[in-house]
Structures are given as C-alpha cells and as structure tokens.
Amino acid sequence: MGTMPAMAQGAPAQNGGPKALPFVGDEPISPTNRMAPPLVPPAAAGTPAHGDPHTILPQPPPGKAAIGMSARFGDKEPLIPRGLVWRVFADRAEASGAYPLVAEAAEPAPVFFLSPGGYVVHVSYGLASVARRIVVGQESRREQLILRAGAIRLESDVADKPIPAQKVTYDIYEGSFLQGRASSRPFFRGANSGDLVVLPAGNYYVVSTYGDGNATIQVDVSVVAGKVAEATLHHRAAEVTLRLVNAAGQEPLPGTQWSVLSPGGDAIKESIGSTPTLALAEGEYTAVARYEGKTYSKDFNVEAGKDGPIEVVVGEQAAPPDLTEGSGD
C-alpha cells in the first residue's frame, strides 16, 4: 500500500508515493471510517472522468432554468464522483440575517431548477468546501467548481507492533511542526486509527496521542488533491501497570492514590485505584503511592515496547522527603 511522504518527530513515519482516493470501482470504504465520504450514487456510466457529466440538461419547469453542477479536484484533475453535499442559498439575507436555503442535493452532479436571480452555491466534501456566487437568467447552463481536497489515513505502532485503534487518537493541525509554522488550534480533533479524513489540500501536522499519559508524537503530512496520504507514527513508549503490594507478587492494595513524576519532579499522571495502567514515553520516572496515610515511591525506567507491571512494595521503598512533609494523610 503506497503512502505519502511524512516526517515524524523522534521516529520516521512510513514513506512512499500517493495513491488515489478510493472511489467507485475501488475497494469500498469501511463504514467505521466516520470521516470518509458517504456512499452516494456515482456519476452516470460512461461519463468521462475529465469531461462534463451534463451532456444534455433536462427541460426546466416554466419560469426556471436548469443549472447542472459538478466538481473536480483541480483544473486538470478528475471529476469528484461521489461524497459531495451541495447547497444553494439565495444571495440576499432575510430580515433575520440568515440566507435562505433554496435547494440541496447529495449527488455528484445534480441539476437544480432555479428561478432567475442571484444565488450562492456551496459544495462540501469531507472537511473541504468551496462556494461560488452565480446569477441565473432565462438560459440553462453548466457550472463546475474546483474543490481541491485530499485525505489522510493514520496508524500508530510501538516496536513494529500496531497499537490498538481504541488506544490512539489524532489531532490534525494546519501548517508544519518541523518548520515551526503551525496553527495552535486543531483543524480536526479526535480522529481514530484507520479513519479516512478528507481535508482541503495543503500541509498539516498530526499529533498522535497513545493512552492518557505522556506518549505523544508528531508527523508532518502533505495532502494532495485527489490523493490519500497514509502515515504510520512510530511511538517509543510502553504501557505500565502500577501496583502497591505488601510483598512481591501479592494482590495489589485497593484505593491507592498514584502519581507518576518526571525526573524533574513534574506530575505526569495522577490516578486512584489498585492497578491503573498508562502509556508512558521512553524514559525515567518515579511512581508515588499514597495508602492509609503513608507514602511510598519507586524509580523505574520505561523502554519502548516493553509493557509490564511496576510494583511498589510497602516498607521497602522510602518516600522522598518533599512528598511526605505536611501530607496530613
């Protein structure tokens, strides 16, 4: 499977060449890909990919004109054969300030019967959209919009093993992380592994978050009109399960309050429970357990792909002085 070039912080994503968006005639898009274009009727059989789908416009009702709409990925790119949502608005606002919706369609090449006047035609494809103002007279005609949209599909792994989709989320930003040109607000938040996310063509960077600890990684991705950019982000992290026990191998003590600290003493994650599990980036940490008014701690190291328990044994680990002073527990 080909991929678009991508660069990740700390570990490279898979590289390769772009491939076309999966449209009619290709492998169907899985219904679990919630950002994928909906399956709508394709253009009529025999319609040339680079031509106009409206060879003959239908006869409009009296007093109206037939306006045949279509969209393509670029001036010299193919027609978009499905997944489009069209809306036609009057170009003058009502007293309320709203622009009346005149017509809408979910077809690749709809024909609208419109009375003479001004309109704004809006078409969207995933998160990409474009609008054009048109003036309708007595004559029927064709209108074609350029909608420069592509898509990205993302995956993540650790030590060459895929991370389960439910454990990873992706936030997508406009710009470039590596070049320091990036938006501070996500363009799209919360994409899942395997989702086909349709975006306006351009440069983006993606933040992959593994679990709810500090395991994050960034990748720059270029979205090309009519193509899918695929990237796999290689996390250097592992899942650890914290356990406070009276002796090694015994049952964990319930209701333990946990803190995981960085070498500098910053709190990375806090939780309550007998066996909390969290994903941590590769590095050194301190686990701090508070139980029945006493505090225990243990230093530990995380290596990429090496999941496992971290046991803090009551009585064997002395808590740092600054963690016990004034605890009052």
Q: Is residue 186 part of a domain?
A: yes
Given a cut of 60, whether residue 95 has pLDDT beyond it is yes
118-177: pLDDT as tens digits: 999 999 999 999 999 999 999 999 999 999 999 999 999 999 999 999 999 999 999 988
Measured between alpha carbons, how far is 269 from 160 in angstroms, rounded to an integer? 26
CB 309 within 8 A of CB 252: no
Q: Which domain holds residue 287?
A: 237-324
Any domain includes 83: no
Q: Does residue 307 sit within a domain? A: yes
Q: What is the rounded distance in angstroms from the CA atom of residue 290 to the CA atom of residue 327?
A: 10
* CA distances (Å), origin 176, targets 173, 181, 205, 255, 304: 8, 5, 6, 44, 26
Whether 71 has a pLDDT exceeding 60, the answer reads yes
- Asked if the structure places residue 259 within a domain, the reply is yes
Residue identified by tokens 């369609």 is 105
Give CA–CA dist 54/64, Å, rounded: 18
Report if residue 28 sits inside a domain: no
Q: Are 304 and 238 in contact (CB under 8 A)?
A: yes
pLDDT of 8 above 50: no
Q: How many CB atoms lie within 10 A of CB 98?
A: 10
Please report which confidence band the pLDDT of residue 181 belongs to, taking 50, 70 and 90 as the band edges.
confident
In a domain, 181, yes or no: yes
Report yes or no on 118 lying in a domain.
no
Co-location of 227 and 289 in the same domain:
no
Q: Are residues 187 and 244 in the same domain?
A: no
The CA distance from 250 to 20, in Å, is 55
Nearest Cα to Cα of residue 177 among 155, 206, 148: 206
Residue 223's nearest CA partner among 188, 193, 192 is 188
Contact by Cβ (8 Å): 116, 61: no
The number of domains in the chain is 2
Tell the residue number behind the tokens 């009529």, with chain if given. 44
